[in-house]
A and B are shown apart, each in its own frame.
Chain A
Amino acid sequence: MSETNCTWFEERLARDDLPEAERRAVEAHLSSCERCGELYGLPDSLSATLTAPVAMEMTRTILDRTSGSSCSRAESRICESLDRDPDPVNRELLELHLRSCEACARLVPALQRLSLDLPHFATLSPDPFFVDDVKAVTSARPRGWPTRLHAGWKHWLMRPRASWELGYVGAMLLWLVFGAPISPVRGAHTRAIEALKQPVESIARTDVGWTDDVLATAQRTWQATRGIGRESLRGWGTDLKQRYRASEATARRLGSRSLEIGTESIHRALDLLSAEAPSSAPEKQDRNSIVNEGEDDASNE
């Protein structure tokens, strides 16, 4: 075979669109020319030994040793191709993979079927009374900012972390009241705990004025409560007024009784103190007069 024939053969070897006559001539040259047979016949003979399963196994082995399995990429391409048409290159690459990977190939029809089946789950009819129930619930609720405020507040409280937030705010408030340097009652809790640890007698002995303060505060509170009650009920019906008077009389009796009990308790405590410390007798006298005055005021009321 001449050199020209070999050149002619090589020019036509890579072409797919050869006329039938030329294709036969190329095949004839390949089988007759020793040089071209060695050069270009080798791949054919090699591929003939690679059966499809062997080729697939070989591909898998090479991928495992290089880039890893391409199935995950193929799976994401399959999903993307369901959402929108892939570009031609991606489509062809995917098709090549699907031809050789049975697992991925099975996913395609399953995913396509799912995309048809799943939208049917979007609606599910409740019972026929559902609308009436919703109307009954909603028509009873006026819309507007108070409702929304109430709903918002309720929603806020129902959140799982609401308790945590409330705890945080509470802790901050406690710190501001009792721990902040600018707080007027800073350290009050410490003093209170210390006072609780001391015996009652020592508190009464060292801080004589506290019972006077308590009594005076009780009197003022009583008078203020009574005044508020009168103000709030002024102008109401006679029936209400009578009820108020009856309740006022009851409250007065209760107040007097409470004062009596309180006075008695204080007397007992002071007696105990005077038994221990004779010097505190004048103070007892003073407190007696204060208590009696308060009692008189209450009964006059």
Chain B
Amino acid sequence: MLDLATILERCRQGDELAWEALVRRFQSRIYATAFHYVRDADEARDLAQEVFVRIYQRLDSARTDGFLPWILRVARNLCIDRLRRTKARAPLSDRRVEDGVEISDGSPGADQAWLTNARQRLVYRALDRMSDKSREMILLKEIQGLNLKEIAKLLDAPIGTIKSRSNRARLELAKTVLTLDPSYGA
């Protein structure tokens, strides 16, 4: 597999194949991130596309180290902007989580097949019941695997605050999952 530095360098030189490789490498992450924020497959797709357009326009400033946090930051900002603009629509809690997942793909791939697993649906439902802040912490730390320092930079908050917020979010999720299914993890 080509390393990210090479791909980025080729992208900056205008190599369209390199750009395609970059899109293919990060599309599912960006799409998943957008989906976690907006909880709507079509909107997540639009947002993911917009994220890549934004990345394309700023390729010159993209650095290899911290590339993932950077694109997640772009995705987060766009998602939050979109959510602010569409705040008047129906509240998220009114929609079933499975709706978005089912809509997202007509031909289920490996990820969607995984989501059909009952345990994952349970986790998804628990995530849906969490507050936006806690869900964001889970998304950035547990799902996308950013470290505390990267999250602190991304959210512009002290690292101690991020640490305690992350712990609280994990506990909240665990308690919610156990409320839904006491046998989870046993």
Contact B27 A130 (CB under 8 A): yes
In the complex, the answer to whether B32 meets A123 with C-beta atoms within 8 Å is yes
- How distant is the Cα of A143 from the Cα of B60 in the complex, in angstroms? 9
A126–B111 contact, CB under 8 A? no
- B53's contact among A107, A124, A137, A148, by CB below 8 Å, is which? A137
Question: Taking the complex as formed, is B178 at the interface, i.e. its CB lies under 8 A from any CB of chain A?
Answer: yes
Which of A4-12, A37-45, A110-118, A214-222 faces chain B? A110-118
Residue of B nearest to A118 (CB): B142
Q: Are A124 and B177 neighbours in the complex by a CB distance under 8 Å?
A: no
A131 is an interface residue with CB less than 8 A from chain B: yes
Other-chain contact of A118, B81, B138, B171, B182 (Cβ < 8 Å): B138
The yes or no answer to B54 lying at the interface (CB within 8 A) is yes
Q: State whether B143 touches A121 (Cβ < 8 A).
A: yes
Task: Judge whether A15 is part of the interface by a CB distance below 8 angstroms.
Answer: no
- A127→B107 CA distance, assembly (Å): 8
A135-B167 Cα distance, complex, nearest whole Å? 40
Q: How far is the CA of A178 from the CA of B84 in the complex (A)?
A: 37
Task: Tell yes or no: B19 within 8 A of A by CB.
Answer: yes
Cα-based distance from A19 to B174 in the complex (angstroms):
48
Indicate if the CB atoms of A106 and B119 lie closer than 8 Å. Answer: no
A109 CB-CB contact with B under 8 Å: yes
Query: How far, in angstroms, from A137 to B35 measured CA to CA in the complex?
Result: 21
Closest to A132 in B: B20
Chain A residues, Cβ within 8 Å of B114: 120
Q: How far is the CA of A182 from the CA of B94 in the complex (A)?
A: 59
Do A125 and B112 touch (CB < 8 A)?
yes
Contact present for A125 and B49 (CB under 8 Å): no
Is B49 a contact partner of A123 (Cβ separation < 8 A)? no
Cβ-neighbour of B29 out of A117, A118, A123 (below 8 A): A123
Let me know if A48 is at the binding interface, CB within 8 A: no
| Residues in A neighbouring B171, C-beta threshold 8 A | 75, 79, 107, 111
- Shortest distance between the CB of B82 and any CB in chain A (Å): 10
**Least distance between B18 CB and chain A CB atoms (Å):** 12
Q: Contact check: which of A75, A121, A135, A147 meets B23 at CB < 8 Å?
A: A135
Establish whether residues A114 and B112, one from each chain, have CB atoms under 8 Å apart when the complex forms: no
Name the residue in B31, B57, B58, B114 with the highest tally of chain A Cβ atoms < 10 Å from its Cβ.
B57
**Chain B nearest CB, measured from A154 CB (Å):** 11
Q: Mark B42-78, 1 if CB is under 8 A from A, else 0.
A: 0011001100111011111000000000000000000
A141-B57 Cα distance, complex, nearest whole Å = 8
Pairwise interchain contact A110-B174, C-beta atoms closer than 8 A: yes
B12 nearest in chain A by CB position = A143
> How distant is the Cα of A126 from the Cα of B112 in the complex, in angstroms?
10
With A121-B143, A124-B111 as known contacts, state yes or no: A137 contacts B49, CB within 8 Å: yes
B105 contacts partner chain A, Cβ-Cβ < 8 Å: yes
Please, which residue of chain A has its CB at the minimum distance from the CB of B123? A117
B173 at the interface (CB under 8 A from A): yes
- Residues of chain A in range 135-151 having any CB-CB distance to chain B below 8 Å: 135, 137-139, 141, 143, 147-148, 151
Q: A111-B185, A126-B27 are in contact. List 5 more A-B contacts (CB 8 A).
A: A124-B112, A125-B27, A130-B31, A133-B49, A160-B84
- 18 residue pairs from A and B, CB less than 8 Å apart: A75-B167, A106-B185, A111-B174, A112-B185, A114-B173, A114-B174, A114-B185, A119-B142, A119-B143, A122-B29, A122-B144, A123-B29, A124-B31, A126-B48, A130-B31, A135-B16, A143-B57, A158-B81
On B, residues with C-beta under 8 Å from A are 16, 19-20, 23-24, 27-29, 31-32, 35-36, 44-45, 48-49, 52-54, 56-60, 81, 84, 104-106, 109-112, 114-115, 119-120, 123-124, 138-139, 142-145, 164, 166-167, 170-171, 173-175, 177-178, 182, 184-186
Top 6 closest A-B pairs, CB basis? A109-B185, A123-B28, A124-B32, A113-B185, A110-B185, A79-B167
